[in-house]
């Protein structure tokens, strides 16, 4: 794309003008400021809104002539975001101390665009919400155009959401006065979990805790998850997870059939997040995830990784129990689909019971669809791709791939 605009500055200026005109028309009642870059480690374009007398950063944009040309846009825009957070903290600004300082991140590289977000907990963090999506005008792929349209529409929706968010935070900060200049520890915890901590519960944010060998086999990363183990003063244990999509009805039906933990759910107002507060199926009660049992995942010299490994005969018994459990629940509720029948989402008890967890993708066969983006590194059954229609046979097929013969 670089031949079409002679310099990177021309590309930035062109996109700056597009954004400025679009946002001023989209938010006529909001004071919006779109600013091109200044010398130094700054983003190419920043978008701010005036809230309670302060200019609040809501979006950073990095523009490159091509992907991989003149630097990595993600690294450079996050460098700029880190600089902004340091400045905000040093100035004791309420938007830093009273929130996790969320901003939208937009990367434009050649004909490709990617939308993501950044926030600051104990350190700056970035998460792409989409892959790089090309915007060539001769594109004839309706599915890709649908994804691209949603990504582009999300920019104004996200900015509008952050304007409302910061307005609420600013109002609360004004009421707190000087106390708003000390960052509350609850900023780093979801509100539902912060309430649990305030009642005396012990709260631990869960991580994927596997050896390097296991991570390579399972094709997952070592990262904190929005899943929390809660032990209340009376000894009761719960698992609380936060997600934006959850098959509550499927989970309920499978629980009533005896093949999933009990749960409660609550819809949060901010961002349509769902809180799933569920029964804890603990190791102390004999529950084990299948990836900890599968003898094929044994790691030489790693006693922790092999703590619960089954021998070949025991593994065959476990596999039969899991397949029977899925067959039983499908006979009772033939139209339901779990959608993610991987070993880490299946628990087996030493007494022979089986439970399925993580119903984030669950839905109705032939009606609901998989998420727009699913991990392409994993091995999925035929027909399982992003946004594809879910079918009940996919559960059986994926389970067969996971368990083997």
User: pLDDT tens digits for 111-162?
Assistant: 888 999 998 876 788 888 888 888 876 666 777 788 888 888 888 888 888 8
For residues 68 and 34, is the Cβ–Cβ distance under 8 A? Answer: no
At residue 82's C-alpha, the angle toward residues 77 and 85, to 5°, is: 125
Tell me how many domains the chain contains: 2
Same structural domain, 281 and 171:
no
The model's pTM is 0.59
Contacts of 11 (CB under 8 A, 6+ apart): 5, 63, 65, 108
User: What kind and span of H or E run contains 109?
Assistant: strand 103-109
User: pLDDT tens digits for 70-123?
Assistant: 667 888 888 889 899 888 888 888 888 888 889 999 999 888 889 999 988 767
Same structural domain, 281 and 145:
no
pLDDT classification of 209: cutoffs 50, 70, 90:
very low
CATH number, domain at 358? 1.10.510
User: Which domain, by its residues, includes 230?
Assistant: 191-403
- The two tokens of residue 201 are 């519960």
User: pLDDT tens digits for 329-388?
Assistant: 999 999 999 999 999 999 999 999 999 999 999 999 999 999 887 888 889 999 999 889
Nearest to 266 by CA among 367, 196, 169: 196
Nearest to 159 by CA among 73, 60, 69, 239: 60
At residue 386's C-alpha, the angle toward residues 296 and 259, to 5°, is: 55
Look at residue 192 and tell me whether its pLDDT is greater than 70: no
Beta bridge partners, 64, equal: 109
d(CA 27, CA 216): 47
For residues 227 and 239, is the Cβ–Cβ distance under 8 A? Answer: yes
Same structural domain, 267 and 128:
no
Same structural domain, 247 and 117:
no
Same structural domain, 271 and 351:
yes
């Amino acid at each position: 794309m670089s031949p079409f605009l002679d310099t990177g500055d021309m590309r930035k200026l062109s996109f700056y003008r597009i954004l400025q005109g679009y946002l001023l028309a989209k938010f006529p009642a909001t004071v919006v400021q779109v600013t091109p870059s200044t010398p130094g480690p700054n983003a190419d374009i920043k978008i701010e809104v005036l809230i309670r007398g302060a200019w609040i950063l809501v979006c950073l944009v990095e523009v490159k002539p091509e992907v991989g040309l003149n630097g990595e846009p993600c690294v450079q825009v996050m460098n700029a975001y880190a600089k902004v957070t340091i400045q905000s903290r040093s100035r004791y600004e309420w938007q830093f101390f009273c929130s996790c300082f969320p901003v939208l991140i937009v990367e434009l590289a050649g004909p490709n665009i990617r939308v993501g977000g950044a926030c600051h907990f104990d350190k700056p963090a970035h998460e792409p919400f989409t892959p790089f999506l090309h915007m060539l005008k001769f594109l004839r792929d309706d599915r890709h155009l649908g994804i691209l349209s949603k990504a582009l529409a999300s920019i104004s929706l996200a900015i509008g959401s952050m304007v409302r968010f910061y307005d609420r935070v600013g109002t609360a900060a004004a009421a707190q006065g000087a106390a708003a200049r000390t960052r509350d520890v609850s900023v780093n915890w979801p509100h539902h979990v912060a309430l649990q901590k305030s009642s005396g519960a012990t709260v631990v944010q869960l991580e994927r805790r596997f050896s390097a060998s296991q991570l390579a086999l399972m094709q997952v990363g070592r990262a904190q998850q929005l899943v929390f183990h809660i032990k209340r003063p009376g000894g009761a244990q719960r698992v609380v997870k936060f997600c934006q999509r959850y098959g509550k009805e499927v989970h309920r039906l499978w629980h009533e059939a005896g093949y999933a933990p009990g749960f409660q759910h609550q819809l949060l107002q901010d961002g349509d997040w769902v809180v799933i507060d569920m029964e804890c199926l603990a190791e102390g009660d004999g529950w084990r995830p299948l990836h900890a049992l599968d003898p094929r995942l044994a790691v030489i010299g790693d006693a922790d990784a092999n703590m619960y490994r089954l021998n070949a005969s025991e593994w065959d018994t476990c596999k039969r129990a899991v397949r029977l459990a899925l067959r039983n629940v499908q006979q009772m509720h033939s139209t339901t689909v779990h959608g993610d029948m991987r070993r880490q989402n299946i628990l087996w008890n030493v007494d022979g019971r089986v439970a399925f967890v993580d119903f984030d993708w669950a839905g109705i066969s032939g009606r609901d669809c998989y998420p727009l983006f699913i991990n392409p590194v994993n091995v999925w059954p035929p027909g399982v791709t992003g946004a594809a229609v879910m079918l009940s046979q996919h559960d059986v097929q994926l389970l067969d791939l996971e368990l083997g013969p």
